[in-house]
Amino acid sequence: MERDTHYFMVGLFVIVTAVAGFFFGSLFYEKPYVATTAYDVHFDIPVAGLAQGSEVRYMGIKVGEVSRVSLLPQAPVRVAVRVALETGTPVNTATVAILRQQGLTGVPFVSLEQDEARKAEPLVATAGAELPVIPSKLVGMDALMQQLPDLEQRLATVLESANKVLDDENRKQFAELLKNLNDASASLPELIKHLNQASASLPEMMKNLGQTSRKLGDLSGQMDSAVQQIDKLAKDIDRVVVNNEPNINSLLGEGSENLKQLLEESRKTAVSIHQLSDKLGQNPSQIIYQPAPQGTELPR
């Protein structure tokens, strides 16, 4: 009986001491009160491991906790995560929520970051929404996995197009094209050889053309001198004929008309030679090269 009384007293003493220690500690510890603001975040991917009490960080700094995780009633394939953030956290329309994992432990948390592609404006609740909604953003493997269906469809389209391009008829035409290219490339060395020979003879050709041009210039000068002499002779004969017309008419009789015609033809010849000399002086090469035809050819 005395032993039972002894154990009872010991147990009662321990309980009283624990209660007293709890109240004594509560006198010196007071949890600080922090004002918070609630927001909703909607995720299109599974949020395995994310639960009430999970951390919410803004630019890597803890600014709140997850207060609730549930499915959207109007869209059960989406997850609604309600977060309580410290009042004053700079959340705006450029803020996005990213589901990340902490270190090697793999504990998920919500990371709030600023998207530079978005315009920063005050974030308010839309019509019909209980709280402002912070948009979510996929990164890394999550973004890649979400794009896999579109990527698969594009790959299927590319393969289908490749099969159409590489059908029997196109492959045959491609083989013929390669053969034609091979035949054309086989004649390239001979063509290059001819071009090299032509380019090697080009300086000599230019030299000969220069000499020919100088000779034509000299010929033009000589023709011009001859024209002047012929013109002078024609004038002298004309002057003699005019001064002695009666005597010449009586001497030659009907032959005087032939003499006049000869003088007229001499003048025309002198003019023609003079014009030819002028053209040669302007462009001596026209003796070698025929001038290009000018004007517009009318359809027949």
Q: What is the CA radius of gyration of the chain?
A: 55
pLDDT digits (tens, 9 = 90+) for 166-221: 677 777 887 888 888 887 777 778 878 888 887 787 788 778 777 777 776 666 66
pLDDT digits (tens, 9 = 90+) for 51-78: 999 999 999 999 999 999 999 888 888 9
Residue-range domain boundaries for the chain: 36-143, 214-287
pLDDT digits (tens, 9 = 90+) for 9-49: 767 777 878 777 766 665 555 556 789 999 999 998 888 88
DSSP labels for 189-257?
Answer: HHHHHHHHHHHHHHHHHHHHHHHHHHHHHHHHHHHHHHHHHHHHHHHHHHHHHHHTHHHHHHHHTTHHH
What mean pLDDT, rounded, does the chain reach?
75
Q: Quick check: 22 and 71 in contact, CB under 8 A?
A: no
CB atoms within 10 A of CB 255: 11
SS3 state at 78: strand
> What pTM does this model have?
0.42
Mean pLDDT of 261-289: 62
Q: Which of 107-121, 154-168, 221-235 has the highest mean pLDDT?
A: 107-121
Q: Which of 286, 291, 269 is nearest to 223 (CA)?
A: 269
Measured CA to CA, the distance from residue 185 to residue 83 in angstroms comes to 72
CA angle 136, 139, 93 (to 5 degrees): 30
Output the pLDDT for position 24: 61
Q: What order of strands is seen across the sheet that includes strand 75-86?
A: 95-102, 107-114, 55-58, 61-72, 75-86, 36-43, 133-134
Query: Which range, of 102-111, 222-231, 236-245, averages the lowest pLDDT?
Result: 236-245
pLDDT above 90 coverage of the chain, percent: 24
